Every structure is written in C-alpha cells, then in structure tokens.
Amino acid sequence: MKILVGIKRVVDYNVRIRVRPDGSGVDTDGVKMSINPFDEIALEQALRIREAGNAEEVIVVSLGGTECQQQLRTGLAMGADRAIQVDTEENLQPLTIARALLKVVEKEQVGLVILGKQAIDGDNSQTGQMLAALWDRPQATFASGLELSGDSATVTREVDAGLEKIEVDLPAVITVDLRLNEPRFVKLPDIMKAKRKPLEVIPLTDLGVASENDLLASQYAPPPVREKGIMVEDTAQLVAELKTRGLV
Amino acid sequence: MSENVTEREVMEYDVIIVGAGPAGLACAIRLKQLKEDLMVAVIEKSAEVGAHILSGAVIEPGPLDELLPGWQDSPPPVCIPVKHDELAFLTATKRRKLPTPPQQKNHGNFIVSLGALCGWLAPKAEDLGVDIFPGYAAAGIHFLADGAVGGVIIGDMGVDREGQPKDTYMQGIEIHAPTTVLAEGCRGHLSKQLINKFKLDENSDPQAYGIGIKELWQVGPGKCQPGLVHHSIGWPLDTHTYGGSFIYHMDKDRVAVGFVCALDYSDPEFSPFEAFQQFKHHPSVKPLFEGGEILSGGARTIIEGGAQSLPKVEMPGALLIGDAAGLLNLPKIKGTHQAIRSGMLAASHLADKGTGEGFDGTLRASPIMKELHKVRNIRPGFNKGLWRGLITAGIETVTAGKLPRTLHNHADHSALKKLQDMKTVDRKWVKRELAPRDRLASVYFAATDHDEDQLVHLQILEPDVCISRCGEEYGHPCTRFCPAQVYEMVEDTDTSAGQRLQINAANCVHCKTCDIKDPYQIINWVTPEGGSGPNYQNL
C-alpha cells in the first residue's frame, strides 16, 4: 500500500504574526516558514504504519512554489520515500488543493491519504473532507487514534461531544489531530540522505486543475485592541457603571 | 551531557564550524571559495539561521566586498545606507549634541539586520556546497586520545526534565573533523569550556562584556528617516556605568532602538532592561515611539575587552573566530566586519596550511588585530568613570592608540559591589508608559520557545549560595540583570529560608548575561535542546 501525506508550508507557529498595514494579508516578509504542525503528525503516523509493515511507500506532496521543496526535504529527512511538488505560484483554496490531490492519488494509486486536520494559516479544515468526497471514498477526520487491520482502519475521532470510534474501509482519507502522536526528531545523517531521495516537480497545469479562486479575501484586520478597564471602588460604583453602559 | 553506553553515530567533515553567524558563515564561504573540494559543515543551535542573532547594526561593507564582490547588486533584505550620524549626551531632561568621534562616522556604512544578513549569507554558503544544519546544538566537544579537539557532540533530543529519555528520544551524533572552528559568538559555552581547558586566556586580561537589549519598532507615519543613526551616552546611566543607546532608522517605517550596558556595573540593584526602557522615555526620544508598535525584540551580550582580553585563538584541533574570540571594536560599536574578516582569515589559513596551527600568530599580525590595538585603551579608560573615560577616549583617538601604554580590563563579575557597600543612587528615572510594560511583556517579542519538559539549561553549580549568601550580600542580582526574567526568588514554605530560586528556563533568550555577571560565578549556561530559544525576526 502507498500512503500519500500532504504537507503545507506555513508560517512557523512561533512567529508573532502581524497584519500588513494595508490590510491585504499577514506579513510574511522574512518570517520563518515550517511544515504545518498537523502535517508533521500526519507524516509521523504514515512512517509508523510503514515501519509496522503495513505500507511499502510513503509519498509526501506539497502544493506551492520552489520554496516548499524545503519542507518536502524535511519530510524526506523524517523518513518519507519520495516527494512530489505540485508547482504553482497561486494561493490555492481547499477545493483546488483537493482536486489536485485527487489527481496525484489516482496517478499513484494510493491506498491511504493522511493529512493534517487543518493548516495553521487558513484554519479551514476542508481539504481532507473535500478530497474524500471528490474521490468518493470514506473520511475519518480529527483522528487521535488509528489502527489498521487489513482493508479497514479503526479511527478514534476527537469530536465536540468527546471521542468517537469509527471504522472506515480503505482506501480512505484520514485527517489527524494533535494527540495522535509526537513527531520524531530528524537525525542529521538523514538530512544528508534526504538530498538524494527523489523529488518530482509537476506543474499544477499539467494535472489539469484550474487554479482560479472562487473566493477572494478582501480585507484582513487584527482583532480590536482591548480597551483599558477602570477600577471601581465598591459594589455600588460597579452597579452604577454597569447601568450607565446599559448592561443591567 | 548524558553518559551513553551506545556509541554515537559519526559524521565526518574536513572542517566543522559551530555557529552560523557572520564569522562562521564567512569562514564556510571562504573555505569553499578557496578549496571547493573541502567538506565543510556549519551547525547552528537556532531553528533557523538568524533566529538567535541580533545587533544594532551598522556594518562596514569592506569585508563583505572582499568576500562577495558585487553583493550590493542584490543586497540582504534589510540594508539601508547610512545618511546621517549623531552622538548626543543626555541628561534627564536635555539632549546635547556632541561632535561625532571619527570611530562613529558612518559614511559608506549600512544599517542592516544581522539576523537577516545571516539568513541571506546561508544560502550563498549552501550554493557553494556547505552543509548547514540549523536546529542542532553542539553540546559537547569530542576529544581525541591526546587531548586535542576532534570534533563536536550534538546534543541529545527528547530528554525529559529529569534527564530521562522520552518516547521521541534521539541520541545526538558526533561530527568529527581535523579542525573545529568555534564561531559561537560572545561567551559561547563550548568556547568558554575550551578556553578554560587549554588555558587560552592565561596571558590575557579578564574579558569584558556588555549587555545589549534591542527592539524593532514600527513607528507612526512620517517619523522614520531612513539612514539616520543616533547614539547617546549619559542618562539614564550614572557616570560610573558605561554604556549608551542606539537608534537606527531603517525602511518601511521601521526603527531599531537599543541600549548597551557594560557588565562591570557596580550597583547590584541596577537593571539593564529598566535602563533601556527609561532611555525610550527621554523627552527627545519618546515622541518617536508614541503610537508605534513593537515588531520584535531581544537581548545578547557583547564582547568588549578587545585586544588586551583576546585569548589565544588556537588550540590543538580548533580555532576561535569572531566574537567567540572577542574581536568587536567597541568605540566603533561594530563587530560584524571583524567577525567576517576573521572567518575569512581562518579559512585562508586553513586552506593554505591544512591545519589551524599558527592561526593565533596570523590573527595577531593581521589588520583585525591592528584595528583592535588602535582603540585598546578606550574601553578600560571608562573604568574610572564617564568623564575620565571621555578624556582618555579623546586622547587615544587623537594619538591613534600610539601612546606606549596599555590600560587593563577587570572582570565584570567581581565589579559588583555588595549591598552594604553601595550608596543609593538617584537615577532620575521616570514612570513609564511605552510598551513593553515589563520583562515578561518584552520577552513575548523574542518569540522564545523551549519545550518545558527538558533539562534546565542553566546550571547552578552551588545552589546553596543563592539562599545562604546572595540575598544578604547582593540581593539576588540575577533577578534583575536577566532581560527575560528567567530567575525569580519565590516564596516556598517548604524550605528553611522560606524562599527558593526558581529558574524559568523557557523564557531564556540565550544572551549569556547570567553566565557572565553572576558575582559568585556559579551559573553555567549550557545549550538547551537544538532548535529551542528565540525566534528573532529582522533583528
């Protein structure tokens, strides 16, 4: 079985992000970029499945410009066998990404797709679900537990009400949550080995997927600055202040 | 370093460079330019090159012109030519312009972000075939049987707070090389270890240091004047504390502001962080920052000892370059050009001779040393206070350091006076309004990140001293000189003294002030897990 893991190049989770003064987006000038943390967890799980003997190949895929090859090489250093960069300069939306991933899935005849539950920049949590629907295969999202047995997988999902256990037939799409595993550190010699692993570049247009966005984000703004509060002397003053503000 | 029975995996290189700062990267680039077949690796403890380095900074382009001719055609992302220089003397209320000393004339120089410069140099090194490994900390030295340095040991990762392996445990490998180049910067922990072991400083003055604290601000429209360089001395410091401020106007409405305090200050109650914040509130400074916001900030110690404190920079199997050796020119407040030169010099020495042996002689005969020698008496001149220091500086500048005398440096940690010997000083400090409110608010901008579940990387070699002596003698100065509020005395009814030292290691910005200034010299800074620490942006 081949496992496909999607990884996205995002602003590192440690960066203190700022909105550009003109409201056009988040300032990514000179900021550190890393693999989306949930995608690392996804890759770690794929590697464990391969190491347990239930898959022969782990392929990492990323959609973006040449810069995302950095993240793909990190994925290879962690242990993936092959990498695919779907080359595009466009800012893609989940539906487009899902369509592109489907083409890769069909081309590679993948048995399992593992994705992060969401990217920390868009926070959409849509790509995995859309891919499953387009592929007409089952989905198990927000996985915090995963067991494979033959042609199916038992997934523990973190949902609002608690934990839900479902069984899905493979091939399927699984998206992972924080508590599934802790990704391994990369060994230095593996960074060197990763340089020699295959990395294929496929232009997005070659996959026959249109990159036009249906949605346009028109404005970004930081949350309003919290107003300075006032100290009140006693309960009477508190009530008076609340009344002035029409809150009681 | 945990004792490990399993032998570590080994990688071999011709040269291993510790630290991807300007010295380390210049050395790597030059090595490959001279001998492209050499296998060169640079290891760097920060998660990304540039994340742990900060400086004002105004740099002299000369060494960069030599290393990378034509670099100005595609300069680093933050690079603004200096347009105008001013030095001023501040009192609590006034600002008096002083004549700009020749060492601070910056025509032809550039305001840069040192972090961005390193981030720009790194791919150039990689294009030449250098292997750069950010996120890996050199935690120890691999010694050969004859005691020579044979390489470095990368720190283990995935170790918990008690030193036990976690599920993610990964043993650090060893990198062996005939030559190890230490480019860790000021007070590098491996450099410190090796200087002690090989007694490299037995013929030098004690080293002198300063702490530099910096913030990068986005100021209100119309306030930024790109290329403007302002330095000041005087308030908020007293006449016995050496230091001063810098304000560098960059592009995109960004202004870099910072403050340097020499660490030989004597008042145990002094807080360098507070001095910096006070400076921003001077009537001539405050309007610039009102209505602005902080983009990033951090702190790092600066090596100030110059020629007299320079240790021997070679030992069997290893070299010291850049500020790991101590090449910063303090009157110019510049070290980057010296660091780059020293990296290049080490590279040409190694390429030429095939060994680091003789590098100490090469360095001392070079223009790098000549530059340090010329200004050698200026810093120690200030040991007698601001006014004597200015006079000495004037004389030394006019005579270009040719007077047949060499003043000496004293150790910073022993300069601290005990509480009982200290008279209270009225610093005329004011109530503050500008961000950041305090050190915790400030450390947020350093974006420093450490897994809390790892060994505390600040080792207290004699923990009893904190409770039994320090409180009475010095009043716990570590709780004041650390710019990140790592050290705290907290109430603890379980102890006989009713309090204990709490080390908030996760706040640490790797500045090394504690390792230097602690009066008992019982704090030993070692490297935490690779990738931990600040994530400076454009500093």
For residues B377 and B308, give the distance between their C-alpha atoms in angstroms, rounded to a whole number.
9
- pLDDT, position B417: 93
Helices B367-374 and B336-353: crossing angle, nearest 10°? 150
Residue B473, SS3 per DSSP: helix
Tokens of B433: 């309004």
Find the residue in A nearest to B166 (Cα). A182
Q: Inspect the interface and report whether the beta carbons of A16 and B447 lie closer than 8 Å.
A: yes
Question: Taking the CA atoms of chain B, what radius of gyration do you get in angstroms?
Answer: 22
Residue B96, SS3 per DSSP: strand
Nearest CB partner across the interface for B538, out of A30, A184, A185: A30
| Bridging pattern class, strands B243-249 and B254-262 | antiparallel
Residue with tokens 């004792």: B3
- Residue A193: list chain B partners with CB under 8 A: none
> What residues are paired with B303 via a beta bridge?
B209
Tokens of A84: 């695919």
- pLDDT, position A152: 96
Q: What is the pLDDT of residues B84-128, one digit of tens each?
A: 999 999 999 999 999 988 888 899 999 999 999 999 999 999 999
C-alpha distances in Å from residue B101, one per residue of A2, A160, B171: 69, 67, 52
- pLDDT, position B425: 82
Q: Inspect the interface and report whether the beta carbons of B77 and A29 lie closer than 8 Å.
A: yes
Q: What is the pLDDT of residues B223-236, one digit of tens each?
A: 999 999 999 999 99
- pLDDT, position B5: 55
Average pLDDT over residues A33-39: 97
Domain residue spans of chain A:
2-244
For residues B55 and B33, give the distance between their C-alpha atoms in angstroms, rounded to a whole number.
27
The Cβ of residue B193 has, within 10 Å, a number of other Cβ atoms equal to: 15
For residues A111 and B61, give the distance between their C-alpha atoms in angstroms, rounded to a whole number.
56
- Residue B87 buriedness (CB in 10 A; 0-12 / 13-18 / 19+): middle
- pLDDT, position A28: 86
Q: Is A18 on the interface with B (CB under 8 A)?
A: yes
Residues B294, B444 contacting (CB under 8 angstroms): no
Q: What is the pLDDT of residues B370-389, one digit of tens each?
A: 999 999 999 999 998 999 99
Nearest CA to B63 among B103, B99, B23, B96? B23
Q: Is A67 on the interface with B (CB under 8 A)?
A: no
The Cβ of residue B324 has, within 10 Å, a number of other Cβ atoms equal to: 31
Average pLDDT over residues B352-373: 96
For residues A127 and A96, give the distance between their C-alpha atoms in angstroms, rounded to a whole number.
9
- Single pTM value for the model: 0.94
**Best mutation site among A9, A13, A14 for testing chain B: the one with the most B CBs within 10 Å?**
A14
A30: left (phi over 0), alpha (psi -120 to 50) or beta: left
Q: What residues of B act catalytically?
A: 55, 300, 336, 482, 508, 511, 514
Portion of chain B with pLDDT greater than 90, in percent = 92
**Best mutation site among B449, B537, B538, B539 for testing chain A: the one with the most A CBs within 10 Å?**
B537
pLDDT-based confidence at A27, cuts 50/70/90? confident
Does domain B10-69+117-205+307-374 correspond to CATH entry 3.30.56.10? no
CA B535 to chain A, closest CA, distance in angstroms equals 7
For residues B67 and B517, give the distance between their C-alpha atoms in angstroms, rounded to a whole number.
36
Which A residues 132-161 touch B at CB under 8 Å? none
Q: Inspect the interface and report whether the beta carbons of B11 and A185 lie closer than 8 Å.
A: no
Residue A98 reports pLDDT greater than 80: yes
Tokens of B248: 């560098």
| Bridging pattern class, strands B228-234 and B293-303 | unpaired
Residue B493 reports pLDDT greater than 80: yes
- pLDDT, position B189: 96
Q: Is A20 on the interface with B (CB under 8 A)?
A: no
- Residue B158: list chain A partners with CB under 8 A: 185
User: What is the DSSP annotation of B179-202?
Assistant: EEEE---TT-HHHHHHHHHTTTTT
Mean pLDDT in chain B?
95
Q: Is B377 on the interface with A (CB under 8 A)?
A: no
- pLDDT, position B446: 95
> What residues are paired with A61 via a beta bridge?
A6, A84
Helices A94-108 and A127-135: crossing angle, nearest 10°? 50
Q: Inspect the interface and report whether the beta carbons of A189 and B11 lie closer than 8 Å.
A: yes
Residues B8, B25 contacting (CB under 8 angstroms): no
For residues A33 and B193, give the distance between their C-alpha atoms in angstroms, rounded to a whole number.
34
Average pLDDT over residues B471-479: 95
B451: left (phi over 0), alpha (psi -120 to 50) or beta: beta
CA B401 to chain A, closest CA, distance in angstroms equals 41
Which B residues 118-147 touch A at CB under 8 Å? 119, 131, 133, 135-136
Residue B525, SS3 per DSSP: strand
For residues B227 and B219, give the distance between their C-alpha atoms in angstroms, rounded to a whole number.
15
- Lowest average pLDDT, out of B29-38, B311-320, B377-386, goes to B377-386
- DSSP code for B334: B
Residues A157, A143 contacting (CB under 8 angstroms): yes
Average pLDDT over residues B190-198: 97
Residues B326, B538 contacting (CB under 8 angstroms): no
Average pLDDT over residues B289-295: 94
Residue B310 reports pLDDT greater than 70: yes
CA angle B1, B6, B8 (to 5 degrees): 70
Tokens of B313: 């920079």
pLDDT-based confidence at B494, cuts 50/70/90? confident
For residues B12 and B415, give the distance between their C-alpha atoms in angstroms, rounded to a whole number.
44
Average pLDDT over residues A95-124: 96
pLDDT-based confidence at B197, cuts 50/70/90? very high
Nearest CB partner across the interface for A15, out of B157, B218, B537: B537
- pLDDT, position B3: 52
Residues B382, B63 contacting (CB under 8 angstroms): no
Average pLDDT over residues A207-228: 87
- pLDDT, position A80: 98
Tokens of B528: 């935490």
Q: What is the largest CA-CA distance in chain B?
A: 66
Q: Which fold has domain A2-244?
A: Rossmann fold (3.40.50)
Residues A176, A44 contacting (CB under 8 angstroms): no
Domain residue spans of chain B:
10-69+117-205+307-374
Q: Inspect the interface and report whether the beta carbons of B445 and A16 lie closer than 8 Å.
A: yes
Helix%, strand%, coil% for chain B, nearest 5? 30, 25, 45
Residue B454 reports pLDDT greater than 60: yes
CA A48 to chain B, closest CA, distance in angstroms equals 13
- pLDDT, position B66: 97
- pLDDT, position A171: 97
- pLDDT, position B198: 97
Average pLDDT over residues B331-348: 97
Residue B428 reports pLDDT greater than 90: no
For residues B12 and B33, give the distance between their C-alpha atoms in angstroms, rounded to a whole number.
20
> What residues are paired with B228 via a beta bridge?
B84
Tokens of B395: 């004389």
- Residue A5 buriedness (CB in 10 A; 0-12 / 13-18 / 19+): buried
